[in-house]
Amino acid sequence: MASFAVIWYLFAACLAPALAVDCPASRLQLSEPPYENYFFSDCITSSHVIVTSQEADSNTSSVKARLLVAWPAGNSGAAAYFEAENNGPLGLHLENSTSNGEVLETVNEPAVDGASNENPRVGVKGLIHFDTPALLTLPILGSIRTIRDYSEGGGILSLDVQNAVVTEKYGSDGGQFYRTWFDNVTTTWIDFVPTAGAEAVRIVTGDKWMLRFGTGTYEFRATFNYPPLVQLSPSEVFNNASQGLARENPDLTKSLSFLSYSNKLLAGSWRFLTYFGRDSMLSALLMEPVLSQGEGGAIEAVIGAVLERINKTDGTVCHEENLGDYATFLARQEGISSTAPSCDYKMIDTDFFLPILMKDYFVDSNTGKGRAAQFLNKKATFLDENAGIAYSTLAQRTAEKIMIITAPFASEQVASNLLRIRDDQSVGEWRDSNSGLGGGRIPYDVNTALAPAGLRAIASLTKAGFFPDHSDWAETADMYAQTWEDETLQFFQVSVPRSEAQQHVQQYVSDAALAGPSNVDQIESTMTFYGVSLDANGEPVRIMNTDDCFRLFLLNTTNQEQLSAFLAQTADHILRDFPVGLHTDVGLFVANPAYTGNKSLSNQFKNSDYHGTVVWSWQLAMMAAGLARQLARCRAYGAPDFCKQDVYSKVQEAYGKLWGTINANRAQLSGEVWSWRYDNGYQPVPLSAFSTTESDIIQLWSLTFLAIHREDV
Ligand SMILES: *[C@@H]1O[C@H](CO)[C@@H](O)[C@H](O)[C@H]1NC(C)=O
Ligand SMILES: *[C@@H]1O[C@H](CO)[C@@H](O)[C@H](O)[C@H]1NC(C)=O
Ligand SMILES: *[C@@H]1O[C@H](CO)[C@@H](O)[C@H](O)[C@H]1NC(C)=O
Ligand SMILES: *[C@@H]1O[C@H](CO)[C@@H](O)[C@H](O)[C@H]1NC(C)=O
Ligand SMILES: *[C@@H]1O[C@H](CO)[C@@H](O)[C@H](O)[C@H]1NC(C)=O
Ligand SMILES: *[C@@H]1O[C@H](CO)[C@@H](O)[C@H](O)[C@H]1NC(C)=O
Ligand SMILES: *[C@@H]1O[C@H](CO)[C@@H](O)[C@H](O)[C@H]1NC(C)=O
């Protein structure tokens, strides 16, 4: 056996240089105190390591000393929570390697010969330094979802998970924790050995077993043996024309590459390190000009991941996947022994993005056109229930669903025929925190933009020969789309006469104890906007918002009077300052509750609320891209009426002002969402300053400014 192992190593050594040429290690460090983030990828594995250190003035019950390693494969990870032995704050940090100066290195051990798990044991290693003697009091090993349940679920721990953790000595003076997943096959390990004369790691037994470290530096390794994902390198993520982006924006490019794999794009890290339908399709639409097309490219990874996960029975597109240890855990709770992945189908907006993206690629792109037949003939493999079903069949299910649910409104334009979030849910689209829609049930974006755009796309796809069982859609989908485009806006329209609007804004400034100016002098006439949703009675929820961007980006509407008025009010809200409009020095707020005339409602849209008076990067991107698309229509044949009206220059002015605020906030743009404090103007502040929820340091749809630039319109 020994000689066999030697031969294997020689063989591996011969192969190694060949692999290394294609993918040298990629490293990225991003700081967001109290979190220090390190990304490491190579051909073997991709890891995100986050270190949280306590400072002398830290609140040790809210800032926990922690080493967390997150892996895209299986949405899995290892978290180690530490406490200072003397109960004070615990300072810890990663050290540079003494040999090559790098912080992280790859770990890659072949599977034990003859073991039931044939995957190599992979991960990262590095040096962790403790400023005072420390106890590793809590290891959480397995799924990122399990770690999130603990970190943001108020300390929820599953006994089944924790009781399976084994604590052992590692080598002569080290210690380790490991846990075998519920699949009985995969294991996650985290081990430590002293370096540079640090004390031996000691196992402390008792109610719960802990590891004890002295002051000093220890080598840690975090590893697991789950099937790896194939990461797309920066050059593989971008199309040929955009290869220069990797040099111009190395950090954003490394972030994008970290979230991009051959069979899916991931939403963010570390908290959402897996497939999310809306995030990936929306990002693909915004970044389409730069993403790679063709077999093995980013666009096909996105579309393929979505098709694989469709509910074959009713055509619903998957919002979030459950896989790895968490999928087995969920099945186990239902009394089922299964490792099969599953999906969450609660969102109502995600279905529409699919035909829109498919039309963009398979109809509008030459590469896509050439790939359609081969790609759509592929058979699904990811969900057991879809195994063997052709992608084309799954895509058609979703289109059928859209045709069915949009038919009632196409025939009778009443609020009760609009699309509403599921009765058993309080969320259903991107504003998916409990008060994101202000208690409404009928979302503005879905009804006025996504549904008609989805229908237009189905009509185009059908005309191009897709959905041959439904050739009638070439006409019906367009007919439905016309009605959804022209007849939905009015349900959401809110018009507040000038003096009433001024009163509401003054009242809001006082209710919210807003430190900034009321800007009421900017209210020159009746304020008109489209509410974020309709309530159960079909009345608009009077929250001004940025969701106009969906209509601007996804539709070229043709009702001229409506289009001019719509663009005029969008431009007004960008040109006017919060709380009259949406504009601030830190960006456009995604919601402005100043016109609700209801303190308990406006209070749900604070600067600490996820969908409150805060700024989202991708909403700025989509607004910029949407305005550019509308303005570009003025140069095309058959320019809309607004191009010859006063509103044209107003839209141009709004476009310029929007880019002013985007450029002023470059430092924030790759974050998902940010908040503010008022100090001689609005100043950007991480949302985490007001909320205990950590944010993702990298987020797919916040990388869209790689593709969105100010255009000459
Ligand atoms: C420290 O954090 C805890 C938990 O978040 C909180 O309850 C407590 O009020 C904080 N203490 C101080 C002094 O801020
Ligand atoms: C590691 O090296 C970097 C770059 O050389 C340096 O800025 C950093 O301070 C070093 N870190 C530690 C903990 O010494
Ligand atoms: C893992 O092993 C346990 C104990 O033998 C068994 O009950 C369980 O069904 C197994 N789980 C899976 C997913 O095979
Ligand atoms: C992109 O470049 C590669 C390598 O230079 C080439 O093989 C490929 O055909 C190009 N693709 C397109 C769409 O131009
Ligand atoms: C798929 O759709 C069918 C029909 O609506 C439903 O009964 C089923 O629960 C859905 N599957 C999942 C996993 O939600
Ligand atoms: C004000 O808003 C709250 C919270 O959304 C709601 O329960 C209440 O009915 C509203 N009041 C009025 C008068 O609309
Ligand atoms: C709308 O028109 C603009 C400008 O001609 C174009 O770039 C965009 O793709 C069109 N959008 C749709 C949905 O057709």
Q: What is the tens place of the pLDDT at every residue in 323-373?
A: 999 999 999 999 999 999 999 999 999 999 999 999 999 999 999 999 999
Ligand 1: residue whose CA is nearest its atom 12: 59
pLDDT, residue 115, reads 81
In this structure, which ligand is nearest to the CA of 129? 2
Chain position carrying tokens 């299910």 = 397
Rounded-to-integer distance, Cα 294 and Cα 517, Å:
52
Q: Which atom of ligand 3 is nearest to the CA of 338?
A: 13
CA distances from 571 to 565, 567, 650, 656 (A): 10, 6, 6, 11
Measure 206 CA to ligand 7 centroid, in angstroms: 66
Ligand 4: residue whose CA is nearest its atom 11: 240
Count of structural domains, the chain: 3
Residues 166 and 258 in one domain: no
Nearest to 384 by CA among 301, 305, 309: 309
Q: Is the link from the previous residue into 270 a cis peptide, with omega within 30 of 0?
A: yes
3-state secondary structure of 316: coil
Residues 209 and 287 in one domain: no
Rounded-to-integer distance, Cα 192 and Cα 175, Å:
6
pLDDT, residue 688, reads 84
Nearest to 140 by CA among 73, 222, 211, 79: 79
In the chain, the amino acid numbered 105 is: E
**Four-residue CA torsion sign, 619, 624, 625, 629:** positive
Nearest to 552 by CA among 445, 442, 456, 648: 445
Structure tokens that stand for 549 in this block: 């961007």
Residues 534 and 664 in one domain: yes
Is the residue at 713 inside a domain? Answer: no
pLDDT, residue 98, reads 87
Whether residue 383 contacts residue 342, with contact meaning beta carbons closer than 8 Å, is answered with yes
CB atoms under 10 Å from CB of 321, counted, come to 23
pLDDT, residue 111, reads 87
Task: Report, as an integer, the average pLDDT of 437-460.
Answer: 98
Give Rg (Cα) of the chain: 27
Answer whether 363 contacts ligand 7 (Cβ < 6 A).
no
Is the residue at 445 inside a domain? Answer: yes
CB atoms under 10 Å from CB of 87, counted, come to 8
For the stretch 200-213, pLDDT in tens is: 999 999 888 999 99
Whether residue 706 contacts residue 617, with contact meaning beta carbons closer than 8 Å, is answered with no
Its pTM stands at 0.95
Residues 247 and 192 in one domain: no
Answer whether 643 contacts ligand 7 (Cβ < 6 A).
no
Measure 239 CA to ligand 4 centroid, in angstroms: 8
Q: Which of 20-29, 52-61, 312-321, 496-505 has the lowest mean pLDDT?
A: 20-29
Cα 348 from chain centre: 17
Q: Which atom of ligand 3 is nearest to the CA of 339?
A: 13
Answer whether 597 contacts ligand 6 (Cβ < 6 A).
no
Residues 220 and 245 in one domain: no
Nearest to 566 by CA among 539, 535, 529, 617: 529
Ligand 7: residue whose CA is nearest its atom 14: 556
Rounded-to-integer distance, Cα 255 and Cα 287, Å:
14
Interhelix angle 617-632/646-664, nearest 10 degrees = 150
CB atoms under 10 Å from CB of 366, counted, come to 8
Answer whether 629 contacts ligand 7 (Cβ < 6 A).
yes
Measure 313 CA to ligand 5 centroid, in angstroms: 6
Percent of the chain with pLDDT over 70: 97
Residues 197 and 278 in one domain: no
pLDDT, residue 210, reads 96
Is the residue at 431 inside a domain? Answer: yes
**Structural domain that includes position 385:** 234-483
For the stretch 266-311, pLDDT in tens is: 999 999 999 999 999 999 999 999 999 999 999 999 999 999 999 9
For the stretch 559-614, pLDDT in tens is: 999 999 999 999 999 999 999 999 999 999 999 999 999 999 999 999 999 999 99
**Four-residue CA torsion sign, 511, 512, 517, 518:** negative
Ligand 3: residue whose CA is nearest its atom 2: 184
Measure the CA dihedral 601/603/607/612, to 10°. Answer: -10
| Residue 2 pLDDT > 90 | no
Ligand 2: residue whose CA is nearest its atom 3: 96
* Domain end (from 224, 256, 273): 224
Strands 544-545 and 583-584: unpaired
Which residue among 334, 337, 338, 339 has the greatest number of ligand 3 atoms within 8 angstroms of its CB, and so is best to mutate?
A: 337
Residues 647 and 702 in one domain: yes
Which residue among 316, 347, 423 has the greatest number of ligand 5 atoms within 8 angstroms of its CB, and so is best to mutate?
A: 316
* Domain end (from 443, 467, 483): 483
Is the residue at 712 inside a domain? Answer: no
In this structure, which ligand is nearest to the CA of 511? 6
Structure tokens that stand for 482 in this block: 């016309």
Rounded-to-integer distance, Cα 433 and Cα 447, Å:
19
Answer whether 155 contacts ligand 1 (Cβ < 6 A).
no
For the stretch 388-428, pLDDT in tens is: 999 999 999 999 999 999 999 999 999 999 999 999 999 99
Answer whether 556 contacts ligand 7 (Cβ < 6 A).
yes
**Banded model confidence at residue 17, pLDDT cuts 50, 70, 90:** very low
Q: Which atom of ligand 7 is nearest to the CA of 629?
A: 3
For the stretch 184-201, pLDDT in tens is: 999 999 999 999 899 999
Nearest to 50 by CA among 102, 106, 128: 128
Residues 475 and 492 in one domain: no
pLDDT, residue 14, reads 33
**Banded model confidence at residue 4, pLDDT cuts 50, 70, 90:** very low
Task: Report, as an integer, the average pLDDT of 38-49.
Answer: 95
Residues 604 and 563 in one domain: yes
Cα 394 from chain centre: 24
Answer whether 150 contacts ligand 5 (Cβ < 6 A).
no
Is the residue at 142 inside a domain? Answer: yes
Residues 660 and 631 in one domain: yes
Measure 633 CA to ligand 7 centroid, in angstroms: 7
In the chain, the amino acid numbered 203 is: I
Q: Which atom of ligand 4 is nearest to the CA of 293?
A: 13
In this structure, which ligand is nearest to the CA of 539? 6
Residues 44 and 110 in one domain: yes
pLDDT, residue 16, reads 36
Residues 475 and 608 in one domain: no
Task: Report, as an integer, the average pLDDT of 166-181.
Answer: 97
* Domain end (from 483, 501, 524): 483
Helices and strands per DSSP (H, E), number in the chain: 22, 33
3 state SS for 65-122: EEEEEEECHHHEEEEEEEEECCCCCCCEEEECCCCCCCCCEEEEECCCCCCCCCCCEE
Is the residue at 687 inside a domain? Answer: yes
Ligand 6: residue whose CA is nearest its atom 6: 601
CA distances from 128 to 38, 195, 213, 236 (A): 13, 10, 11, 33
Rounded-to-integer distance, Cα 29 and Cα 251, Å:
9
